[in-house]
Chains A and B, each alone.
Chain A
Amino acid sequence: MRRRPVPMGRLLLRLYPRRWRERYGTELLELFEDVGWSWRDAADAAHVAAAMRWNELHGGTAVTASAPRPTGGGISAPQAVFAAFRNYASFDGRASRAEAWWFLLFTLIVPIMAALIMFGLGFPRPLMIPAAAVVAVFGVAVFVPLLAVAVRRVHDTGRSGWWLLLVLIPHGIGPVIGLTLLALPGTAGPNEYGPPPEGHVGIVTRPSAA
């Protein structure tokens, strides 16, 4: 009789790259069952998983299994940013979580870096205003694609883009709802807004099996 993985195990496996998880996940959980669960071992596994993710992001040898696996799932950070700009004002279709969140991160990091450089590094005063103008232009430039990717992300969950108007609710409630909407998993198969985003974005070859 198979035991169901405990919630901690399930959570822990989520940290691993998908292909690794599909090949070794059940074996790792069995081993955890054999030795008994501890926070120490969980932290160790989380650390290993983070290292794999890091290697994968930086083009190193992603730990992949020898067993053949269908491709699918995430796109890399640069791919997400390019995809968001390529679909600049496209409010139709669907966007994966990877695409939306990497792009959101990108739009946040650029002004934060700019502020750190301008105020942290003793930026020459006469250049302050032009630099601020560049950041402002960046903000305007990313606003439409950010809105578009958010709408496509909400489509991915099977909802109308108008749901995003909920972010206007005051007292911090709106943003929490907005971030939640962006974080909800997408519908597995096609929905009324189109096929799952992998095919739609045209970067990852096949929608995931299963």
Chain B
Amino acid sequence: MTDASRDPELLLLVSLAAGPKHGHAMLLDIASFAGRRLGPGTLYGALSRLEQRGLVEAMPLDGRRRPYRLTRSGQAELARRIDLLRSAVHVGEARLAAR
């Protein structure tokens, strides 16, 4: 994944699929698997959109930080996105190989 900021929402869904996290933990986790650190602004912008769509939900404050977790529809959305990516990979590879 070269440009992580292109789809921060996907990265957040993936990150939260491992369990509830607060913002800083999400940044570190995403950096570890996507190889790029999102800006706090990008992260919170995406997080607020996901919360508005009911895909993630806020949990009670843990000290100064607020953890978030994936909702059921968030899990379904991630599964749907992964299916789409998988078929894009298969079809794309096949078509490139056929050239």
Contact = CB atoms under 8 A, between A and B. Distances in A.
A28 B44 CA distance: 7
Contact of A35 (B24, B51, B65): B24
Give the one of A20, A23, A48 with max B CB within 10 A. Answer: A48
Interface in B41-92: 41-45, 47-49, 51-52, 58, 64-66
Contact of B44 (A2, A24, A46, A64): A24
Contacts of B48: 20, 23-24, 63, 65
Contacts of A34: 23-24, 65
Q: Interface residue tally of chain A, by bracket? A: 20 to 34
B46 to A, nearest CB: 9
A51 B44 CA distance: 13
A28 B51 contact: no
A47 interface: yes
A63 B48 CA distance: 7
Interface string B4-25: 0000000000000000000110
B30 interface: no
Interface in A56-112: 61, 63-66
Interface in A16-42: 20, 23-24, 27-28, 30-32, 34-35, 40-42
Interface of B: 23-24, 27, 37, 39-45, 47-49, 51-52, 58, 64-66
Interface of A: 2, 20, 23-24, 27-28, 30-32, 34-35, 40-42, 44-49, 51-52, 61, 63-66
